[in-house]
Amino acid sequence: MSPTASMYRNNPSHAVKQFVWVAGLCASLLLVSCSRPVEKVVAEAGPRMENETLVFPADSAQLVVLKTEATNIREYDEIRLYGRVVLDERLTARVYSPFNGRIDALVVNWGQTVQKGDALARINSPDIGTLRADLGKSRAELEQTRQAFERADSLFAQGLIAAKDVEQAKADQEKARAEFARSQSRALAYAAGSGMDQTANLLAPVAGTVVDIHANVGTEVRAENNQSGSPPLFVIGDTRKLVALLDAPESEAGRLKAGQVLSVWALNDERKPLVTKIGVVQAMIDPDSRTVKVRADIDNRDGRFKAEQFVNATALVPAGEGFVVPASAVLLSAKGSVAWVKTGEGRFERRELAVREAGFQKTRILDGVKPGESLVTEGALFLEQIHAGARRK
């Protein structure tokens, strides 16, 4: 007999106590296990593959992440363009000083409307004094040659001089008259006019609005700044008539033509886009950006656009072959481009496509999809990952 059995045989009360302790422990464990709820783990059934079609259960929560868009044949395509509105160079003047000198006074301010010939600034320059001196000198010479001709003509009538002397006097007068006209025209062009001082007004060559000023009182100006790339003293333009300069992708350059309808709107502008027409499509591609410039006139009488403001635009062009879809619907695989087509409730078929670029965030599908079929535009990559996982199994 073992020592433990002998102990319980010789001491019955100890055996009873041990039994009671073990029974209590078992009861406690049973009570604790009964008080906890029964946890049920139900695994949701995933999609299954049927050839190249993914089939989801009707109540699958994964369908929530998928969004589709139906393909359709349209009469026109929209080509998205980006660019800015600028002053029309045909109505814009960048004004430099024709003299070397100093600005004594500014006559206009930012945003001021001026007419052609209005004064912009007062300039002090020795060149102006030279112009006025030349004008006075040519006027005096003209008067002198006029008197000489009249005297020669009188003497010839009296038979005192030869005809050639009269002809020479007449030629001298004509030369003096031409020189006076030249001096006068140059002086008037720069508002030098008559007088003895060395100041004159810098005049506005066109009517419009003063949109930029790079001048202050006391600024030293030089005539050669016009050729050195320095900013103009004044920029005058017609802000009621602007020009949209837009960039179109190289792939769509051949579809854009003058006269096509163009809708233009500014960034963050909730108003209805301004509708105009394409004026000119540039005849060459920019070698750096691989885009073509598109130009359109903008009627800005309501002041909605500012010069140099960034804008968006869409051009309506005759529809090409196939369908234009969001670029997110088309994925690149090892064999080419693919898309997922919804063929039924919870059913998505993987299709290989023939595609072509169609502008910013757009792709043109040439083959692989029929009119009216719906493409997955959001969640296509998710379906592609499920498809790849199923092929590895």
Q: What is the percent of the chain where pLDDT is above 70?
A: 85
**DSSP 8-state class, residue 218:** T
Nearest CA to 326 out of 371, 357, 287 is that of 357
pLDDT at 90: 93
| pLDDT tens-digit series, residues 8-17 | 444 444 444 4
| pLDDT tens-digit series, residues 113-153 | 999 999 999 999 988 888 888 888 999 999 999 999 999 99
* pTM score over 0.85: no
Describe the strand order of the beta sheet including 119-124 as a list of residue ranges.
Answer: 199-203, 119-124, 101-106, 220-221
Contact (Cβ atoms closer than 8 angstroms) between residue 199 and residue 129: no
Sorting pLDDT into bands at 50, 70 and 90, what band is 35? very low
Give SS3 for 326. Answer: strand
Q: Which residue has the tokens 């009707």?
A: 58
Determine the average pLDDT of the residues in 314-324.
84
Sorting pLDDT into bands at 50, 70 and 90, what band is 211? very high
pLDDT at 38: 36
pLDDT at 194: 58
Contact (Cβ atoms closer than 8 angstroms) between residue 322 and residue 330: no
Nearest CA to 365 out of 313, 341, 330 is that of 330
227: left (phi over 0), alpha (psi -120 to 50) or beta: alpha
| pLDDT tens-digit series, residues 263-278 | 999 988 888 999 999 9
pLDDT at 27: 45
pLDDT at 309: 96
Which residues have a Cβ under 8 Å from the Cβ of 120 and sit 6 or more positions away? 95, 106, 107, 108, 114, 201, 202, 203, 204, 210, 233, 234
pLDDT at 306: 94
| pLDDT tens-digit series, residues 230-244 | 899 999 999 999 999
Sorting pLDDT into bands at 50, 70 and 90, what band is 104? very high
User: Which comes out higher in pLDDT, residue 321 or 329?
Assistant: 329
Average pLDDT over the chain reads: 84
Determine the average pLDDT of the residues in 198-212.
92
Determine the average pLDDT of the residues in 196-221.
91
Sorting pLDDT into bands at 50, 70 and 90, what band is 387? confident
Determine the average pLDDT of the residues in 188-195.
65
pLDDT at 228: 66
Sorting pLDDT into bands at 50, 70 and 90, what band is 189? confident
pLDDT higher than 50, residue 321:
yes
Residues 72 and 324: their CA atoms lie apart, in Å, by 9
Strand ranges in 134-286 using DSSP code E only, listed in sequence order: 199-203, 208-213, 220-221, 234-237, 241-249, 261-266, 274-277, 280-281
Contact (Cβ atoms closer than 8 angstroms) between residue 273 and residue 263: yes
Strand ranges in 3-44 using DSSP code E only, listed in sequence order: none
Sorting pLDDT into bands at 50, 70 and 90, what band is 40? very low
